[in-house]
Structure 1
Amino acid sequence: MTSPGAMDCFQTSRSNSWIYPTVILCLFGFFSMMRPSEPFLIPYLAGPSKNLTSTEITNEVLPVWTYSYLALLLPVFILTDYARYKPVIVIQGVSFVATWLLLLFGQGVKVMQVMEFVFGIVSATEVAYYAYIYSVVSPEHYQKVSSYCRSVTLVAYTAASVLAQLLVSLANVSYFYLNVISLASVSVALLVSLFLPMPKKSMFFHATPNKEALEKPSGQDAVLEGGHEDHKAPHQEPLPTAGYQESSQRSNPEPGKVVLRSLTQWFQDLKECYSSKRLFYWSLWWALSTAGFNQILNYVQLLWDDKAPSHNSSIYNGAVEAIATFGGSVAAFAVGYLDVNWDLLGELALATFSVVNAGALFLMHYTLSIWLCYAGYLVFKSSYMLLITIAVFQIAINLSVERYALVFGINTFLALVIQTIMTVIVVDQRGLNLPVGTQFLVYGSYFAVIAGIFLMRSMYVLYTARWQKEAQSPATAQSPAELHSKESSHTLSTKL
């Protein structure tokens, strides 16, 4: 018979191992994303089970998710770190179950609005899933474990989409039973979340002053670029996060003082982070594009239903979502093999792919073919997932884990602010209340504006780089204006 002491020792060693929490977290991620009802949400709401009109879904139900997500994000972000992640992951599991209970058994616009609000809690608490691992594993495992957690969610979403399409197309399963399967899956996720070990530390409020908590994983510089974004910074020691270290050195600090000290440190860190032009522009693209991307995901099923109504035609939403997710994951994986000078060509890449996104959305608006509409969505989602992977890497490579978490949170918050403004103006019945087809014309124009912004920025970066290259030559250094004057004189003399 095993003694209590031996059992405690086993539990402690199991909880302290990076393998055990990683497996549990991956299981939670898999079952929470294994939701086959997701690609067919709009046909389900518009079908006989809920019998909502397209106008009610577009203008009254779906906007609630955007508003609740925005309202909850910052408070949940603070609560997540203060509560040390696990309680918030459990709350997310409970919110998942509540969402699908409302979807299955609720009726009417008001209940569906409550459902969207609860799903807003799910979205806001998602930060705990990705932040948890940094508190229970050592820095040398960060990259590996992060890739596991992200990969398993992509696999689960793809598998759920394929399963949904097979059940609908081959077995003629109703959308109601797809939601039953989703409820069973998220219930398993809630059960799994209870087995996560409780972290003893967090990144901010419960930080530890040891080297492990303050340094980044090997291979990443924890400094911001201090000079021009087109030059590599010399090697420097990682910048310590003094505020987090100081708060952990006090044995029993007052909670109010800890919160105030952490908020002050957050503000100082963010100020230093965004003072880097390179990080600022990557973050700007992140916020602008993520706002548009979330808006497309929220309303694309309504556009598909408008092009090919689900009640009188076969729909392939599940297959399209599976292919789009797989294509996006392949594109994101390919980023690791691209040998590109992102300092020089990063903004040009952002401009180019933003043009591609705008073109895909214009195609989705103007085409009458559901197949071309599907194709436009595939191009749009794959393009976004490619660039967001690059953006995350370009931002994270110069930041400590703590500062990256702050930048990630602020970028996501700004994206939600932009998306909320877009929703109020374009979608909400108190705004323009545009039909879904016209909405995608607006979204295409939105990405065209993003492309214009970064095209001008890339031209400036390339022009400045050219001038700096000329300045390094043995000849006397010339300013961009002098170079322009010289080129103009040369052109004039050639013509004469």
Structure 2
Amino acid sequence: MDCLRTSPSNSWIYPTVILCLFGFFSMMRPSEPFLIPYLSGPSKNLTSTEITNEILPVWTYSYLVLLLPVFVLTDYVRYKPVIILQGISFIITWLLLLFGQGVKIMQLVEFVYGLVSATEVAYYAYIYSVVSPEHYQKVSGYCRSVTLVAYTAASVLAQLLVSLANVSYFHLNVITLASVSVAFFFSLFLPMPKKSMFFHAKPSKPASQKTPGQNAVPEEAHRGDEAAHQEAGTLPRHGEESQASSPKPKHGTLRSCVQWFQDLRECYSSKRLFYWSLWWSFSTAGFNQVLNYVQILWDDKAPSQDSSIYNGAVEAIATFGGALAAFAVGYVKINWDLLGEMALAIFSTFSAGSLLLMHYTLSIWVCYTGYLVFKSSYMLLITIAVFQIAVNLSVERYALVFGMNTFIALVIQTVMTVIVVDQRGLNLPVTTQFLVYGSYFAVIAGIFLLRSIYILYSAKCRKEVQSPARPQPEEPRNMDMATKL
């Protein structure tokens, strides 16, 4: 390990290994697929109404309240302290789950877990401050894939322990507590970054002096005239356009806030990025809402006290299927500018159909199948959306845009929770909630279907307008051009 710390050529390996170990053990939580059966079982003896309407909404509210302050704090203190805070929050969450009793304590659990969710931004942003740009893509893949592997392994382990070894849900939570404690231990060994994205950023070099790989986008993304950039929705890199704008305030914090505002305004001025971000925010809000309450729906279809349940197996298959779908995106060769929003419409329709099926069916197996389709569709589309948004943004900007999209998703999810779930709202039963969620995704599918029709029609009209203007001296050449078009 010491040689990895000191060798310049291996300087990216040590922090990547430690961060991946933290990510693996923090996501190795076999108790999660069986959280609702644990809360409604003899250990906690909570009713479905208490869990649905009084306990689970607290996570949404706390996540929303904490996200922006934690986002700013994460950059200001340079990531590592926030990762350590996440490790401590994990431990507190599972100590309360194991030894706490009553609705109030479980609400506190959800609040602390909201802090866990808000501090997750530090895990994904940390690595960019300690490795050189040429390793960004590689280490990002490692850090994201290890959490996926851990979640799948935890779900499989949980199902095997429950079905074959008859392990209690209480002991699954003990295993989870041990795992997150190991994650906290590894977080202490992360090297402290010397810089961060905004508050402690190093002065940017002029474009002509940047080293290869300094930006996350290939050089080809910057070629073409201004009209081509506007048509494709591409954006100038971080700091290029801002240098010519109004003078920055002298105070560092205020200057960073002004820079954030200017960057967001420039990013969302791109229509393509705006609509992909719009889908991201609305779909993520619905996805989180479904994940938050799907175990309650499963418990309603097949009560855990009366039948064998396979939540762990379903979560493992859904995660693995979503990973395969996301992996397949890299090998699909289509014009995303032209057909991307059609893909959003089609797979959002699948999501809507699967949720409506989960509402109407009486079979737990059909309900499980609907969830598999829903989660796989979302993971496929969110992978496309992440790529489409990030491809023309620098690291600083896509961290900012992703954070803002997540915040908007939380606002939408909070409104949905207050209206649909909360006691102060409609207080709908869980089966009716899934009718609402299915309708919600149907509306999203309809919006992007109309958008895709408009895009295809506009592209066709542009071709028809451009065709007469082309010179036609050589008939074979014109036929060749028509074939290409």
TM-score by length of 2: 0.91
Unaligned 5+ residue runs, structure 1? 1-6, 477-496
Match of 2:387 among 387, 393, 408: 393
Partner SS state of residue 337, structure 1: coil
1:172-187 → structure 2 map (5 Å cutoff): 172-187=166-181
Task: Tell me by how many angstroms 1:209 deviates.
Answer: 1.8
The residue aligned with 2:218 is 219
Write the distance in 2 (CA, Å) between the matches of 1:402 and 1:425. Answer: 35
What are structure 2's unaligned runs of at least 5 residues? Answer: 471-485
The TM-score normalised by the length of structure 1 is: 0.89
Which whole-Å deviations, capped at 9, do the CAs of 1:255-287 have from their partners, x for residues lacking one? xx1110010011111101000000000000000
Give CA-to-partner distance per residue, 1:419-458, whole Å, 9 cap, x none: 0000000000000000000000000000000011101111
**Matched-pair contact (CA < 8 Å) for 2:230–2:270:** no
Distance 2:183 2:33 in 1: 20
Q: Which amino acid aligns with 2:360?
A: Y
User: Is the alpha carbon distance of 1:52 and 1:207 closer, same or farther for their aligned partners in structure 2, counting shifts above 3 Å?
Assistant: same
Identity %: 78
Q: What amino acid is aligned across from residue 454 of structure 2 in structure 1? A: Y
The offset of 1:135, in angstroms, is 0.3
What does 1:287-302 align with in structure 2 at a 5 Å threshold? 287-302=281-296
Query: How far apart are residue 215 of structure 1 and its match?
Result: 3.6
Structure 1 match to 2:446: 452
Q: Spell out, residue by residue over 1:63-122, the C-alpha distance to the aligned partner (whole angstroms, 9 max, x if none).
A: 000000000000000000001000000000000000000000000000000000000000
Residue 193 in 1 paired to residue 187 in 2?
yes
Q: CA deviation at 1:471?
A: 1.3
Deviations 1:284-330 (A, max 9, x none): 00000000000000000000000000001000000000000000000
1:221, CA displacement in angstroms? 6.6
2:395 is aligned with 1:405:
no
Please say if residues 351 and 450 of structure 1, whose CA atoms lie closer than 8 Å, have aligned partners that are also in contact: yes
Q: Is the 8 A contact 2:352 2:440 kept in 1?
A: yes
Paired residue for 2:475? Answer: none
Paired letter, 1:398: N
Mark the CA change 1:353 to 1:175 in structure 2 (over 3 Å): closer, same or farther.
same
Q: Is the 1:101–1:183 contact (alpha carbons within 8 Å) kept by the matching residues of 2?
A: yes
2:277 aligned with 1:278, yes or no?
Answer: no
> Which residue matches 1:345?
339
Q: Contact between 1:282 and 1:395, CA under 8 Å: does it hold in 2?
A: yes
Check 1:148–1:75 CA distance in 2 against 1; reply closer, same or farther (3 A cut): same
Q: Which residue of 2 aligns with 1:165?
A: 159
CA distance in 2: counterparts of 1:219 and 1:469, whole angstroms: 28
Q: Structure 1 228/284 Cα, relative in aligned 2: closer, same or farther at 3 Å?
A: farther
Contact 2:217 2:393 (C-alpha < 8 Å) held by counterparts = no
**Is the Cα–Cα contact under 8 Å of residues 31 and 189 in structure 1 kept in the other structure?**
yes
Identify the residue that residue 19 of structure 2 maps to in structure 1. Answer: 25
Q: Does structure 1 retain, via aligned residues, the 8 Å contact 2:217–2:394?
A: no
Residue matched to 1:36: 30
Q: Does 1:153 align with 2:147?
A: yes
| d(CA) in 2 for partners of 1:221, 1:121 | 40
* C-alpha RMSD over aligned residues: 2.6
Q: Helix, strand or coil for the counterpart of 1:51?
A: coil
Q: CA distance change for structure 1 residues 15 and 474 in 2, over 3 Å: closer, same or farther?
A: closer
Deviation sequence 1:195-232 (CA, Å, 0-9, x none): 00000000100001254699413526776996478945
User: What is the match of residue 354 of structure 2?
Assistant: 360
Q: Give the structure 2 partner of residue 138 of structure 1.
A: 132
Q: Which residue of 2 aligns with 1:240?
A: 239
The offset of 1:472, in angstroms, is: 1.3
Q: Does 1:122 align with 2:138?
A: no
2:375 equivalent to 1:381:
yes
The residue that corresponds to 1:67 in the other structure is 61
| Partner Cα distance (2:76, 2:421) in 1 | 36
Q: Is the 8 A contact 1:230 1:465 kept in 2?
A: no
| Closer, same or farther: CA 281–333 of 1 in aligned 2, 3 Å | same
1:229–1:343 distance in 2 versus 1, CA, 3 Å: farther
CA contact (8 A) 1:361 1:380 kept: yes
Query: Does the 8 A contact of 1:357 with 1:383 survive in 2?
Result: yes
Match for residue 317 of structure 1?
A: 311
- The residue identity in structure 2 corresponding to 1:412 is T
Amino acid at match of 1:89: I
Residue identity opposite 2:324 in structure 1: V
Q: How far apart, CA to CA, are the structure 2 residues paired with 1:233 and 1:411?
A: 17
Q: Which one is further off, 266-275 or 222-231?
A: 222-231
Query: In the alignment, does 2:204 pair up with 1:205?
Result: no
Q: Which residue of 2 aligns with 1:423?
A: 417
- 3-state SS of paired residue (1:216): coil
Matched residue pairs, number?
463
Query: For 1:241 and 1:174, how far apart are their aligned partners in 2?
Result: 58
Instruction: Letter of the 1:157 partner, please give it.
Output: Y
**How far, CA to CA, are the matches of 2:386 and 2:227 in structure 1?**
21
Distance between the aligned counterparts of 2:233 and 2:115, measured in 1? 40
Corresponding residue to 1:93 among 72, 87, 91: 87
Partner of 1:485: none
Partner residue, 1:304: 298
1:480 corresponding residue in structure 2: none
What residue in structure 2 maps to residue 473 of structure 1? 467
Which shows bigger deviation, 12-21 or 388-397? Answer: 12-21
Q: Compute the displacement of 1:243 (Å).
A: 6.7
Alpha-carbon distance in structure 1 between the residues aligned to 2:434 and 2:227: 40
The Cα shift of 1:239 comes to 4.8
Distance 1:233 1:424 in 2: 35
Q: Distance in 1 between matches of 2:368 and 2:288?
A: 17
Could you say which residue in structure 1 is the equivalent of 2:52?
58
| 3-state SS of paired residue (1:158) | helix
Deviations 1:330-368 (A, max 9, x none): 000000000010000011110111110000000000000
**SS of residue in 1 equivalent to 2:44:** coil
Matches of 1:80 and 1:244, distance apart in 2: 25
Q: Give the match for residue 321 of structure 2.
A: 327
Does the 8 A contact of 2:199 with 2:253 survive in 1? yes
**In structure 2, C-alpha distance between the alignment counterparts of 1:421 and 1:237, rounded to whole Å:** 34
Preserved CA contact (<8 Å) 1:30 1:152: yes
Contact 1:95 1:122 in 2 (8 A): yes
* Other structure's SS at 1:172 match: coil
For 2:258 and 2:226, how far apart are their aligned partners in 1? 22
One-letter amino acid of the counterpart of residue 93, structure 2: T
Instruction: Specify the alignment match of 1:83 in structure 2.
Output: 77
Q: Give every structure 1 segment of 4 or more consecutive aligned residues whose post-TM-superposition deviation is greater than 4 Å.
A: 7-16, 210-214, 220-234, 236-239, 241-246
